[in-house]
């Protein structure tokens, strides 16, 4: 029977929730650190609904014999580097036994909508367990750009490390804002350098510094609870590792967050401080404190073309659970289509 492709509508949310719940149940067989709650179709449908309430959304669903076999929904926003479209983890599902070609077709429809609106940066978050989907999207030109990983703190063996000679390792506190902000350029340089080349304009640099410095006293990004670990030498910050310690009920719509999950947000070491064990001791100190406070899982993500990060975080045992696959469409397509 021929597959029918239709624009996604609000009435399709319950069926999409059923598909998402089944997908997540399968994903958890290989990725047990994922939260269990999304195996409930009602919870999954609520997540789909939340996506569909975005101001700038679009999507499509596939049907055969009147039954939904797949869906793909996304939204878009103007980022500093491009008008960007996003499909999040709760924005797709493919019924068991269905060909990945169906999702390829859905992306072609959704992506065409984006291109017609001048959205040439396409980004799809896909579960690491959906290997056939990943390969199917690789086959039509998307590539890996970001990795999300989870670490089980309950079984983690945390080594005891001595502080490097002449260095102080401690939590940041009052008066450390400028020290924390001084490390922002390390991340900016890492992301804008080869082989990632993310354009970060000079006018955005000060915003990064303000955001990093504000985390020390909770004045950054909505006043969330941050734990900033710093390495100091001669009263100057050489490195930091920053954790997001939100102790309220986890966001029920975040498909990677189980209860008692801490987020390792950023890590940076100045070039003159590298190869001295700074990042190691800062990370282990932060993870040790997190476990003492009752956190059970740590979430981290890194940009895969940021080679320092991509080769560093797997050493701690983080299990890869999701990827952001990206495609940069040549903007010439806006005027250079054939007849």
Residues 220-235 have pLDDT tens digits of 665 568 999 999 999 9
Q: pLDDT tens for residues 272-293? A: 999 999 999 999 999 999 999 9
Please tell me the pTM assigned to this model: 0.94
Residue 238 half-sphere exposure, CB side, CA atoms within 13 Å?
Answer: 22
Q: Does domain 152-321 have CATH number 3.40.630.30?
A: yes
| In contact, 54 and 253? CB cutoff 8 Å | no
Looking at residue 337, its pLDDT comes to 78
Measured CA to CA in angstroms, residue 238 lies from 120, 207, 210, 272 at distances of 38, 20, 18, 8
Looking at residue 199, its pLDDT comes to 87
Q: Strands 297-303 and 261-269, how do they pair?
A: parallel
Give dist(CA 216, CA 71) in Å, integer: 42
Q: H-type helices in 237-313, by residue range?
A: 278-292, 307-312
Looking at residue 221, its pLDDT comes to 65
Looking at residue 11, its pLDDT comes to 98
Looking at residue 248, its pLDDT comes to 55
Give the residue range(s) of CATH 3.40.630.30 domains in the chain. 4-141, 152-321
Of 213, 212, 241, the residue nearest 228 (C-alpha): 241
| In contact, 268 and 306? CB cutoff 8 Å | no
Looking at residue 249, its pLDDT comes to 53
CATH number of 4-141: 3.40.630.30
Strand, helix or coil for residue 179: helix
For the chain, residues with pLDDT lower than 70 are 219-224, 246-252, 338-339
| Backbone φ and ψ of 222, nearest 5° | 80, 10
């Amino acid at each position: 029977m021929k597959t029918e492709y239709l624009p996604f509508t609000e009435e399709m949310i319950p069926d999409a929730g059923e598909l998402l719940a089944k997908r997540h149940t399968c994903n958890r067989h290989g990725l047990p650190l994922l939260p269990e709650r999304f195996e409930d179709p009602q919870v999954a449908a609520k997540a789909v609904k939340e996506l569909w309430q975005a101001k700038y959304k679009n999507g499509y669903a596939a049907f055969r014999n009147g039954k939904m076999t797949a869906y793909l929904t996304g939204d878009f926003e103007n980022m500093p580097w491009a008008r960007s479209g996003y499909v999040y983890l709760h924005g797709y599902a493919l019924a068991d036994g269905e060909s990945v070609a169906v999702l390829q077709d859905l992306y072609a429809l959704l992506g065409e909508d984006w291109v017609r609106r001048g959205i040439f940066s396409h980004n799809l978050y896909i579960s690491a367990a959906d290997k056939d989907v990943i390969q199917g999207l690789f086959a039509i030109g998307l590539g890996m750009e970001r990795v999300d990983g989870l670490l089980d703190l309950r079984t983690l063996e945390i080594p005891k490390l001595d502080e490097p000679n002449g260095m102080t390792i401690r939590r940041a506190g009052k008066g450390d804002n400028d020290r924390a902000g001084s490390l922002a350029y390390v991340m900016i340089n890492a992301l804008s350098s080869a082989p990632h080349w993310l354009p970060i304009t000079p006018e955005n640099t000060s915003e990064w510094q303000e955001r990093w410095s504000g985390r020390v006293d909770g004045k950054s990004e909505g006043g969330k609870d941050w734990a900033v670990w710093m390495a100091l030498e001669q009263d100057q910050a050489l490195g930091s590792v920053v954790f997001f310690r939100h102790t309220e009920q986890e966001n029920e719509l975040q498909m990677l967050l189980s209860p008692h999950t801490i987020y390792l947000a950023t890590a940076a070491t100045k070039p003159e401080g590298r190869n001295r064990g700074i990042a190691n001791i800062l990370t282990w100190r932060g993870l040790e404190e997190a476990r003492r406070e009752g956190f059970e899982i740590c979430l981290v993500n890194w940009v895969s073309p940021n080679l320092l990060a991509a080769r560093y975080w797997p050493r701690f045992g983080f299990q890869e659970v999701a990827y952001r696959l990206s495609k940069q469409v040549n903007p010439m397509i806006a005027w250079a289509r054939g007849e």
